[in-house]
Chain A
């Protein structure tokens, strides 16, 4: 279960976990699978065009979440197959690693999914993702001109995010 706890609105950024290359890319999806935000800093290989890439990413995460809920070895109660899990219900994964990248994942209770793809030797980025979620709340959600469910076009969010990501990766 993921709960954010604490009563701070914007916690201070956690100390940088690794030095080295920048992060590769970042996605933000809402609960319906709409890609609200995609930013790439370092991506030499594009296998698919952007709409297909976003759909594939969302599909992968959705399936991985239902796989981890099903495979959870500490709970006997599995629920029904194929029924989408509510955020926070059932066991969810927070990262996976391949030989070329590490993907860190955070889902808020409202279904906002934040994905950060970095180099494989990155440490645990859960606190960094929580900080990025707070950036999203401050610069996007509280922006009166932003309509929820639409792609994010907030300059301040982009610049603050770039600055922050440069400091963690």
Chain B
């Protein structure tokens, strides 16, 4: 019930800086993932324009027939979103954990250029560990 299919991180201009697929049948190549990321960035912005009340900060959860999409936007407008099985719990908490890993292993890395694709080994390692731990905790496997 707690399978994550993929994770995307997009910078504040909508460019994809990180994409990891964890076993979906519809694995995307680089071009497609870039396109999907910028599409999502625009949809997120448009949804704020259609809000009936003030203070809308964009889509947080999208529910489709075969997957759910949870999105977290930081104060600096970097967006983290996961595609997961419908009804998966605690994705918000996982996204916050991933945000913390991002701040620790990517932003504090002096060789990382802002808004560029993420190529930090420690981030990858710790991210895989966090997702494994989440999977074990929820599924026992």
Instruction: State the A residues within 8 Å of B (CB).
Output: 1-2, 24-25, 40, 42-45, 47-48, 53, 56-57, 59-60, 63-64, 67-68, 70-76, 78, 81, 91-101, 103, 117
Query: Which residues in chain B, 50-78, are within 8 Å of chain A measured between CB atoms?
Result: 50-67, 69
Kindly list the 5 A-B residue pairs having the minimum CB-CB distance in the complex, ordered from nearest. A73-B24, A73-B5, A24-B52, A93-B64, A43-B52
Say yes or no: is B105 at the interface (Cβ < 8 Å to chain A).
no
Given contacts A60-B46, A64-B43, A67-B39, contact A72 B26 (CB under 8 A): yes
A98 pairs with B58, CB closer than 8 A? yes
Closest Cβ of chain A: how far from B26's Cβ, in Å? 5
- Residue from B24, B61, B65, B83 within 8 A of A97 (CB atoms): B61
A53 B55 Cβ-Cβ under 8 A: no
Q: Which residue of B lies closest to A118 (CB)?
A: B52
Complex alpha-carbon distance, A117 and B56, angstroms:
13
A60-B46, A74-B26, A99-B57 are known contacts. Are A91 and B52 too (CB-CB below 8 A)? no
**Chain B interfacial positions (CB closer than 8 Å to A):** 5-6, 24-26, 32, 35-36, 39-40, 42-43, 46-67, 69, 83
| B26:A93 contact, CB within 8 angstroms | no
A-B contact pairs, 12 of them (CB 8 A): A47-B51, A56-B49, A64-B43, A68-B62, A71-B69, A73-B67, A74-B66, A91-B65, A93-B63, A94-B63, A96-B59, A96-B63
* B52 touches which of A78, A94, A100 (Cβ 8 Å): A100
Residues of B within 8 A of A42 (CB): 52
Question: Do A98 and B63 have beta carbons less than 8 Å apart?
Answer: no
Q: How far is the CA of A64 from the CA of B45 in the complex (A)?
A: 12
Check B55–A100 contact: CB distance below 8 A: yes
- Say yes or no: A45 contacts B51, CB within 8 Å: yes
A98 to B49 alpha-carbon distance, docked (Å): 12
Is the CB–CB distance between A71 and B54 below 8 Å?
Answer: no
